[in-house]
């Protein structure tokens, strides 16, 4: 679930009349997002990163990071050799079947 909308907080007016604020969400290449994960607006999910199921991502995620939990915390980083292997398989698939 991607949640990019939010209310601006204005103490002088009622909540109903407070303006809406939208922030973009950036997903770079080769990201995997688990079921039920929530990504808030203004967040960038780096290349090759993994978001665990049910995680709440409120801050940007660096490349090749594995993030789990509420709020999202970096568990560890993926190995670069794994990333290059997956990329080779993906490119071979694209070349042969697309």
Task: List, for residues 37-95, the tens digit of each pLDDT value.
Answer: 999 888 999 888 999 999 999 999 998 899 999 999 999 888 765 556 666 666 666 66
Q: Using CA atoms, how far apart are residues 75 and 82, in angstroms rounded to an integer? A: 17
Domains and CATH numbers, the chain: 2-97 (2.160.10.10)
- Contact at 8 Å (CB) between 20 and 3? no
Q: Using CA atoms, how far apart are residues 51 and 65, in angstroms rounded to an integer? A: 8
Classify residue 86 by its DSSP letter. Answer: H
């Amino acid at each position: 679930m991607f949640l990019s909308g939010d209310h601006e907080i204005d103490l002088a007016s009622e909540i109903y009349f407070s303006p809406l604020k939208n922030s973009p969400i950036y997903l770079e290449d080769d990201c995997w997002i688990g079921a039920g994960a929530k990504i808030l607006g203004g967040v960038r999910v780096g290349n090759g990163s993994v978001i665990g199921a049910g995680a709440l991502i409120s801050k940007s995620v660096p490349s090749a990071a594995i993030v789990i939990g509420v709020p999202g915390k970096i568990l560890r980083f993926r190995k670069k050799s794994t990333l290059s292997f997956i990329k080779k398989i993906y490119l071979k698939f694209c070349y042969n079947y697309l």
